Amino acid sequence: MKKIGIIICDRYHTCAGGKCFRSMGAREGAFARYADEDVELVGFTTCGGCPGGNVEYAPAEMKANGAEVVHLATGLVVGYPPCPHLNCFREFIPRQFGMDVVVGTHPIPEKYNLVHEELGTWPAMTAQVDLEELLADQKTRLAYD
Ligand code: SF4
């Protein structure tokens, strides 16, 4: 059983988590890595708004519930602009809490992919994100539009 927490971008603070929960159940996007494991979500919150003050605290609560991994939701990758603090979060959470970080949750929706392709966003993101996993294939991306 893999226990995880999810931190979403506060831009989407009213999000009900539809795509994240769907992809967690379907083991798509960043959840494909758990294809052969049970997954339990033990925490879900926002970063608290720029510059992400809640990242200083929320992982501790998730860890207290048994979380080993913090997923930074796909919204941090596909928002306009992508989160400028992503790399800080990736480095801070393991250092401070001893937890793994995965960038992403659900597959990138095709409508976001097309805009970022035009903007030329992806090459700069490849050092921070497993884009291959999140981009999946076009059929999957369209299913998340
Ligand atoms: S852009 Fe980053 S720091 Fe700003 S609200 Fe979104 S996740 Fe938080």
- Where residue 140 falls among pLDDT bands split at 50, 70, 90? very high
- Distance from C-alpha of 88 to C-alpha of 102, rounded to nearest angstrom: 13
- Distance from C-alpha of 39 to C-alpha of 24, rounded to nearest angstrom: 8
Ligand 1 touching residue 83 (CB < 6 A) = yes
Predicted TM-score (pTM) of the model is 0.97
pLDDT at 75 (0 to 100): 97
Distances (CA, A) of 24 to 2, 31, 55, 94: 12, 6, 22, 22
- Domains of the chain from N-terminus onward: 2-143 (3.40.50)
Ligand 1 touching residue 9 (CB < 6 A) = yes
pLDDT at 2 (0 to 100): 97
Residues 33-80: tens digit of each pLDDT: 999 999 999 999 999 999 999 999 999 999 999 999 999 999 999 999
Residues 15-32: tens digit of each pLDDT: 999 999 999 999 999 999
77: CA distance to ligand 1 center in Å?
Answer: 10
In this structure, the residue with its CA closest to atom 1 of ligand 1 is: 83
Strand runs labelled E in the chain: 2-8, 39-46, 69-72, 100-103
Ligand 1 touching residue 73 (CB < 6 A) = no
Percent of the chain with pLDDT strictly greater than 90: 97
In this structure, the residue with its CA closest to atom 4 of ligand 1 is: 50
